[in-house]
Amino acid sequence: MIEIKDLSKTFYSEEKGQETKALTDLTLDIKEHQIFGLIGTNGAGKSTLMRIMAGVLLQDKGSMIIDNQKVFNNPDIKKDIFFVPDELYFLPDSTPMDMACYYKLFYPSFDKERCEKLLDDFGFDKTKKIGGFSKGMKRQTALILGICAGSRYLFLDETFDGLDPVVRQAVKSIFAGEIQSRDFTPVMTSHNLRELEDISDHVGLLHKGGVLLSEDIEDMKLELQKVQCVFTNESDEQMIPQMPGLISYEKRGRVYTITLRGKREDVMQLFRSYETIFFEMLPLTLEEIFISETKGAGYDVKKLIIE
- Average of pLDDT values for 45-57? 94
Q: Mean pLDDT score of the chain, rounded to an integer?
A: 88
Within this chain, do residues 21 and 170 fall inside the same structural domain, yes or no? yes
For 199-246, the pLDDT digits (tens) are 888 988 887 888 877 888 777 777 889 999 999 999 999 999 999 989
Domain that holds residue 270: 219-304
Q: Is 214 inside a domain boundary?
A: no
Query: Is 27 in the same domain as 111?
Result: yes
d(CA 198, CA 163): 16
pLDDT tens digits for range 107-150:
999 999 999 999 999 999 888 999 999 999 999 999 999 999 99
Say whether both 180 and 262 belong to one domain: no
Residue 155 has pLDDT above 90, yes or no: yes
Q: In this structure, are 231 and 197 located in the same domain?
A: no
With a cut of 50, say whether residue 190 has pLDDT above it: yes
Q: Domain tally for the chain?
A: 2
Residue 307 has pLDDT above 50, yes or no: no
pLDDT score, position 248: 85
DSSP per position, 53-65: HTTSS--SEEEEE
From 188, 208, 228, the end of a domain falls on 208
114 and 166 in a single domain? The answer is: yes
Indicate which CATH number applies to the domain containing 193.
Answer: 3.40.50.300
Contacts of residue 182, Cβ cutoff 8 Å, sequence gap at least 6: 150
Cα end-to-end distance, the chain, whole Å: 31
Which range among 27-31, 98-102, 138-142, 178-182 shows the weakest confidence by mean pLDDT?
178-182
pLDDT band at 167 (very low <50, low <70, confident <90, very high): confident
pTM: 0.81
| Alpha-carbon dihedral sign for residues 238, 240, 244, 247 | negative
Per-residue model confidence (pLDDT) at position 274: 93
